Amino acid sequence: MRTPPANLVRPFHYGGAEDRELFCDRVPLARLVRQYGTPLYVYSANNILDRVQMFAEAFAGMRATLCYSVKANSNLSILRLLASAGAGFDIVSGGELERVRQAARPSLRRVVFSGVGKTAAEIDAALAAQILVFNVESPAELDLLEQRARHFRKRAPLAMRVNPDVFAATHPYISTGMTAHKFGVAIGDATALYQRAARSAYLVPTGVSVHIGSQIRVTEPFGQALHRVMELVRELKSSHGIRIQHIDAGGGLGISYDDPPQAGKSRKDVPLFDPKAAVQGYAQHIRAALAGFDSELLLEPGRFIIAQAGALLAQVLYTKRNGPKTFVVTDAAMNDLIRPALYQAYHSIVPLRRRQNRPSTVVDVVGPVCETGDFFARDRELPALQGGDSIALLDAGAYGMSLSSNYNSRPRAAEVLVEGNRHRLIRRRETMRDLLAAEKSLLLK
Ligand code: LLP
């Protein structure tokens, strides 16, 4: 096995006696399974902080603020950890606003509010919280924002979210930067909207924002989008006297989902994903596009910060054969991690304990939910697994727990945060009582 250089060491790695036990940092995961049960999300605090640091280094010398995208993983302890590292937040709902308020109240002033469908109540709550900026996505939303700001006699800072019509290769469900998508206003229509905002006593156009999609690995499109944004910024200033004070470059920087933990044997020839190099390459395109812009840069990464810090642990319940196929049935399901079902996403699956001389087999790893789409892997070569074994689904820290549901009336998983050799429960497992708490059993006559 290759030993990866220090900056490529993953939080989930084998160690212990004969290098057979899977760890998160210095905590053996088998211990967490015994203590907290499965399905269980586990996150490495150090890895999250490392990623924040990588961003800071890549954008050193620029006035850059990282506004972590809460939707990626919105656990209160994780928000608090990020706030302690100086992060602001990108939110898309009143619920996410409330999470930031509860986890890190002083960070409200570093909140950007995105989303195509903000309600009046959500706008009101964000005005009251005095957030940094509203990313406005339509003329109708601009009208509503001005109406609500007028109502409270407040001035609402805003950025138009422009749709730059730039193609970025990713899954079609998470590509957002083209006119065919519902997001933002056509960049050609933006000037008129800025003029409208500038005329209002209750609106303050402070920024321009753009977000072209998620899980973007080829980073040139970020530069292309920002070139278009810069043209707009220059035009606003020179032709209309509107001075833009910040550019929000959105999120979207992708990661590699197919690295084995510490370079397994079968993929020797695949270069390991280097997150530092990835964020530096991304920063280079952004720097080049923003040359000459001396105001603030906002960034809204989600996945890059938290995906690889997290894994979903599950237990194998049964293995079964149907004709030529072998199925490994786990106690986690699509309600816990929907990415494979929704985006045909790949997540590495590794055993918590590597056993010697176990042949590998080709299997489907599936959950108990009553849908054929409930799978984590199809026709995947894995070391043979049997009932009682525990496995980890890697790179599940982003859009794992936050996209989970109670489908099939399955209580949601617990979450644990690891800090070096310590671990803490940051969300307890849901109970049957939680599951039914909001409902009534009525018979309408
Ligand atoms: N800013 C805005 C306005 C966004 O819509 C998003 C993500 C982000 C920032 C953060 O993007 P990131 O850095 O995480 O790529 N559920 C999907 C991803 C959905 C992304 C939605 N928007 C998945 O599991 O791949």
In the chain, where are the structural domains located? 12-43+308-436, 46-302
138 lines ligand 1 (CB under 6 A): no
**pLDDT for res 378:** 96
The residue among 257 and 260 whose pLDDT is bigger is 257
At 204 the three-state DSSP class reads strand
H helical segments located in 29-136: 29-36, 45-58, 76-84, 94-104, 120-129
Instruction: Work out the average pLDDT over 365-371.
Output: 97
Query: What is the percent of the chain with per-residue pLDDT over 90, rounded to a whole number?
Result: 87
Ligand 1 contact via 300 beta carbon (within 6 Å) = yes
422-430: Cβ within 8 A, 24+ apart: 422/27, 423/27, 423/32, 423/42, 424/77, 425/36, 426/43, 426/75, 426/76, 426/77, 426/78, 427/75, 427/401, 429/36, 429/37, 430/406
Averaged pLDDT for residues 162-175: 85
Whether the CB of 343 sits within 6 Å of ligand 1: yes
379 by Cβ neighbours in 10 Å (0-12 / 13-18 / 19+) ranks as exposed
Model confidence at 261: pLDDT above 70: no
Query: What's the rounded mean pLDDT across residues 105-132?
Result: 98
213: left (phi over 0), alpha (psi -120 to 50) or beta: left
Segment 248-271 mean pLDDT: 73
Q: 346 CB under 6 A from ligand 1?
A: no
What's the whole-number average pLDDT of the chain?
94
72 lines ligand 1 (CB under 6 A): yes
pLDDT of residue 169: 80
Task: Compute, in angstroms, the gap from residue 365 CA to the centroid of ligand 1.
Answer: 26
User: Quick one: CATH architecture of 12-43+308-436?
Assistant: Beta Barrel (2.40)
Q: Is the pLDDT of residue 101 over 60?
A: yes
Q: What's the CA gap between 438 and 387, in Å, rounded?
A: 35
| CATH hierarchy code of domain 46-302 | 3.20.20.10
> Which pLDDT score, from 0 to 100, does residue 241 have?
97
The helix (H) or strand (E) run that includes residue 280 is helix 275-289
Burial class (CB in 10 A: 0-12, 13-18, 19+), 20: middle
Structure token digits, residue 415: 């979450």
Name the residue with tokens 């065919």: 180
- Residue 240 pLDDT > 70, yes or no? yes
- Looking from the CA of residue 176, the nearest atom of ligand 1 is 5
pLDDT at 379 over 50: yes
For ligand 1, mutation pick of 51, 73, 214, 257 (most atoms within 8 Å of CB): 214
How far apart, in whole angstroms, are the C-alpha atoms of residue 347 and residue 338?
11
Q: How far is the CA of 424 from the centre of ligand 1 (A)?
A: 27
Please list the active-site residues: 370
CA of 72 relative to ligand 1 center, distance in Å: 7
Residue 7: per-residue pLDDT: 56
Whether 28 shows a pLDDT value over 60: the answer reads yes
pLDDT of res. 263: 39
Is the CB of residue 41 below 6 angstroms from any atom belonging to ligand 1?
Answer: no
pLDDT for 269: 58
pLDDT-derived band at 257, boundaries 50, 70, 90: very high
Q: How far is the CA of 177 from the centre of ligand 1 (A)?
A: 12
pLDDT surpasses 70 at 64: yes
Per-residue pLDDT for 2 more than 50? no
The mean pLDDT of 62-81, rounded to a whole number, is 98
Closest residue to atom 24 of ligand 1, CA basis = 399
Confidence of residue 265 (pLDDT cuts 50, 70, 90): very low
Ligand 1 centre distance from Cα of residue 248 (Å): 14
Predicted pLDDT at 172: 81
Work out which ligand 1 atom sits closest to the CA atom of 161: 3
The ligand 1 atom at the shortest distance from the C-alpha of residue 398 is 24
Separation of alpha carbons 300 and 210, rounded Å: 10
Least confident range of 14-18, 76-80, 391-395: 14-18
pLDDT of amino acid 270: 64
pLDDT at 61: 94
pLDDT digits (tens, 9 = 90+) for 280-330: 999 999 999 999 888 999 999 999 999 999 999 999 999 999 999 999 999
Q: Is the pLDDT of residue 264 over 60?
A: no
69 lines ligand 1 (CB under 6 A): yes
Say which amino acid occupies 275: P
